[in-house]
Amino acid sequence: SMMLSELKDSLDHQNFTLMYQPQIDLNTLQIVGVEALCRWRNKRNEPISPEVFIPLAEQSGLILALGEWVLHKALEDLHRIRSIKPSVRMAVNVSTLQFNDPDFERVISNALALAGVSGNCLDIEITESVGVLGSVEVEEKLSRLKKLGVMISIDDFGTGFSSLSYLDKLSADQLKIDKSFVSCMNPSNTGSNIADMIVSLGRKFHLTVIAEGIETEAQLNALKAQGCHQGQGYWFSKPLTIDDLLTWLEKT
């Protein structure tokens, strides 16, 4: 298709950009990480949503090269971020196709070596679609990645089709509460909700819980009261260009 050939051209010419959204510790309100979010404009300079171009990149196999570019760019920018806030980690979304590529571990260790950063700077966000979480295959891969020092987050937690039976075998570090469960939090509804349940589950299984899509102070306070560890969302900051992020970091 037209869009696919433009997408390929863009990769050759490095026409993608990354935006960074701060991830905040809900107790200290300090930044602990940033999530890299890929952006693309077509030839007519129209922004195309990643919900459109990421699936296209996946169908065409381009996602492997694009994913590698994202890793390299994000880790390169991390140096500038850490020159202001030394402990900030970089979270990168990894498509199921990348994760299941036999070369994935090599891609990760190469990216770390190229950027000259250690594995504990990097957080890999995967979804339940990578395979059967808790299965020997997936857990062995996660364990090998963790030996590089990287952290693993389960993104969009609760929106997939997995059962919960894998949680006690899971070699991940974090659960990310999908923003759909945060946006439906209602200040007048103090009873249990799905976000509440995910926070309890995560804490029981010694996983860090991070809520995404926090847009109001009421949502922030409710999540904090439930014991949610971290959050990101428009309440703190929308995704920022690297320059705007550096300015934001200088001010906070």
Give the closest residue to 91 by CA, choosing from 170, 173, 163.
Answer: 173
Instruction: Based on the shown chain and the rule CB under 5 A, indicate whether residue 196 belongs to the binding site for Na ion.
Output: no
How far apart (Å, rounded) are the C-alpha atoms in residues 227 and 206? Answer: 12
Site string for Na ion, 169-188 (x = CB under 5 A): ---------x----------
How many separate helices (H) and strands (E) can be counted in the chain? 10, 9
Q: Based on CB atoms, which residue is closest to Mn ion, 10 or 93?
A: 93
Using CA atoms, how far residue 36 sits from 112, 198, 209, in Å, is: 16, 24, 18
Instruction: Based on the shown chain and the rule CB under 5 A, indicate whether residue 155 belongs to the binding site for Mn ion.
Output: yes
Instruction: Based on the shown chain and the rule CB under 6 A, indicate whether residue 77 belongs to the binding site for ligand G.
Output: no
Residue 144 CB, nearest distance to ligand G (Å)? 20
How far apart (Å, rounded) are the C-alpha atoms in residues 71 and 77? Answer: 10
Instruction: Based on the shown chain and the rule CB under 6 A, indicate whether residue 231 belongs to the binding site for ligand G.
Output: no
Instruction: Based on the shown chain and the rule CB under 5 A, indicate whether residue 156 belongs to the binding site for Na ion.
Output: yes
Query: Footprint of ligand G on residues 105-164 (CB under 6 A)?
Result: 155-156
Among 6, 77, 123, 125, binds Mn ion (CB under 5 A): 125
Strands annotated E in 14-162: 16-25, 31-41, 47-48, 89-93, 122-126, 151-157
Interface ranges with ligand G (CB under 6 A) = 21, 37-38, 49-51, 54, 70, 93, 95, 155-156, 179, 212-215, 233-234, 239
